[in-house]
Chain A
Amino acid sequence: MTRTISAPVADDVLPTGADGTVKRRGRSKWRVFALTVGALAFLFPFYYMIVGSLQARSDSSLLGALPMPGNLSLGNYREINAAIHLGRSLLNSVIFTAGVVLGTLVFGVLAGYALARLKFRGRGTLFAAVLLLQVVPFQLLVIPLYVQIVRGYGLADSYVGMILPFAINSVAVFVFRQFFLQLPVELFEAARIDGASELRVLRSVALPLVRPALLTATLLTFIGPWNEFLWPFLVTKQAGKQPLAVSLANYISTVAAAATNPYGAILAGACVLAGPAVLLFIAFQRYFVSSDLGSGVKG
């Protein structure tokens, strides 16, 4: 039985006309307009960063916000690459970040599932630890943590030493827990009634569904170690092991003054630092679509 929808509908549900085409409401034009204004406001600083990084001479006037043909060059990128070997630094960043993301995804899912769906001794305490770790500021712990990892565990100048304090992101554990809490409890109960062991339930019920949470957790976890400066800076003295955020900060504090366009060089480094994160997001965000949306949808 079909029914013509005549009342205003939520734009999340696209009304389909009799010929099957998607009809857009006039009001969504305003939405697009508002979003465009917002997007421009958000993008402007990034755009300004890119323009600034391409400036041969620093131009901080209002007109400098426009790319002036006479002032464009890739010189800043070359200078910063000469100073800090962008390739090597990026590789270190990737290793550091990948270690953290892997640790979080593998062990965080398990912990999140256990906290959400299993009753065991110490669950409350562990959950309290998850909360507490998020709340405590890093600066409170940094020197004892450094002593512990460098002296206690002898992990100075190593990737493991860099990764260790970040190995399992507590926010991600929290997100996994919430995710599993939101899944209908009947799913698990049904499997349990069928006699499956807990591990079986985990493997065949929980894990297949967890992909959206994995994506979210990756995007959440990724940015911390990618932009992290203080910890790798403390733990590694070898320039060959330092991630890009540290190399960039080093560059800003010393070498930059001697560059032709110091601020432009800093912006070039920052653009390089931001690039992979943006690309990752572009790649992942397309999974954030409801699987129910019609196939004729653009975007």
Chain B
Amino acid sequence: MKPRIPLASIVVLSLVLASGCGGGDDSSAAGAATAHGAINVWLSNNAQEVAWGKQVVQAWNAAHPTEKVTAQEIPAGSTSEAVISASITAGNAPCLIYNTSPAAVPNFQAQGGLVPLDDFADGTSYVTARSGESAAQYKSPDGKFYQLPWKSNPVMLFYNKKEFAKAGLSTTAPPLGTYTDFLATSQKLVSSGAAKYAIFPSPSSQFFQSWFDFYPMYAAESGKQLVVDQKATFDSDQGRAVSGLWQQLYAQNLAGKEAYTGDAFADGTAAMASAGPWAIAAYKNKVDWGVVSVPTQAGSAEGQSTFSDAKNVALYTACANRGTAWDFLKFSTSKEQDGKLLEMTGQMPMRQNLAQEYPAYFTANPAYKVFAAKAAHVVEVPNVPASVEMWQAFRDSWSNSVIFGKEDPNKALADASAKINNLVK
């Protein structure tokens, strides 16, 4: 039988070669920093943020009829990075995305998808004037700002007053300041039957989950980012203390190891939760809650740090009318609009001296005051290349050693540290 070269495989082969030579196909004209015209923006689909976004867009469009802004929603959550990455690649990303995760910025930057705000005359000055010192954490390794720090949700410890009372613990000054107290309280909560678990952060192995169990406590303990100057910082006494505490919690079944459908704190299954001010609206009629800072070894102090859980705004290279985009960005992060964001969503705009800037709001909503104070002391995820990979490596090692107890946590930390040092070189 004569060997026949299937026709289709020739077609495929040529397509493969052609796609390889692709690389830079039709490059869409990159808009100059001064071009003005209609732009597109994306908001997260959190209902309150959408409401805020709509009124910002309306206000802008009324004042700038020739530079109309259209807003669309994309889901917040683990898939939003996939959507943004895909649209960067396809060249149809919008001008601004009000849901850019700081951990994803290095990747988007490497893809050539982000415009440095330094390109604008008042770019850097605007960012630093608005956010003050904490802006420095959002600079990329090349010293430029590829994102504007927009809002944060400083992570604090919520506790269920009813369940604490049931366990015989004080609800106004709960013993949660030191690790020893925290552990003892957790044991009491579970052994007295007040709650099934003391605390139930998601045990999922997704890369960002460490931001809600390990990182807030590590930030409080050390004030440092996970990686500083291209070196992992957590293979230290502080890192070991945090992982030691969590390992105890999991080993004694005070924290759940299985998947849980729903919110364990809202359901009363867990007596405590690490969450930010967004949770106040979510827990409103479900839990009689109180909030304190996360514990540290020595006892929680006023000025201790926590994880920021920030979401930022970035300007994408697919944008043609970058002048309008920058103007709109400044408009939507003005004092007035930041105030509206605060009112409508309860999340903390990353503006200096938040409590002093909006005294009326905090008088009317004292529950949020403590978060405003915390907002001045937030630690962000490190802005390094391979940041997602770094967090995944950390989470895998955490999962294995702390959650499932298959490895000694100290050794796991050391191994993860070595691995991460390699990644962020």
- Interface positions of A (Cβ within 8 A of B): 58, 60, 83, 121-122, 124-126, 128-129, 142-143, 146-147, 150-151, 156, 230, 233-234, 237-239, 249-250, 253-255, 257-258, 260, 262-263, 266
Contacts and interface: CB of A to CB of B under 8 A. Distances in A.
15 contacts: A122-B6, A122-B8, A124-B6, A125-B7, A128-B6, A142-B86, A143-B86, A150-B87, A156-B92, A237-B72, A250-B45, A253-B76, A254-B44, A254-B75, A257-B266
A254 B282 contact: no
B386 interface: no
Given A233-B83, A237-B72, A254-B44, A146 B8 contact: no
Interface in B39-98: 42, 44-47, 72-77, 79, 82-83, 85-87, 89-92
B24 interface: no
Given A125-B9, A254-B77, A258-B282, A150 B92 contact: yes
Given A237-B42, A262-B266, 11 more contacts: A121-B7, A125-B9, A142-B86, A143-B85, A147-B89, A150-B92, A151-B91, A257-B263, A257-B266, A258-B282, A262-B263
A181 B319 CA distance: 55
Query: Chain B, interface size: which category?
Result: 20 to 34
Contacts, number: 81
B66 to A, nearest CB: 24
B357 interface: no
A258 B282 CA distance: 5
Nearest to A59: B267
Main secondary structure of the interface of A (DSSP, over half): helix
Contact of B74 (A142, A156, A237, A257): A237
A151 B262 contact: no
Contact of B73 (A124, A156, A230, A237): A237
Contacts of B44: 254
A285 to B, nearest CB: 31
Contacts of A58: 262, 267
Contacts of A128: 6
Nearest to A146: B86
Interface in B279-304: 281-282, 285
B27 interface: no
A270 B89 CA distance: 33
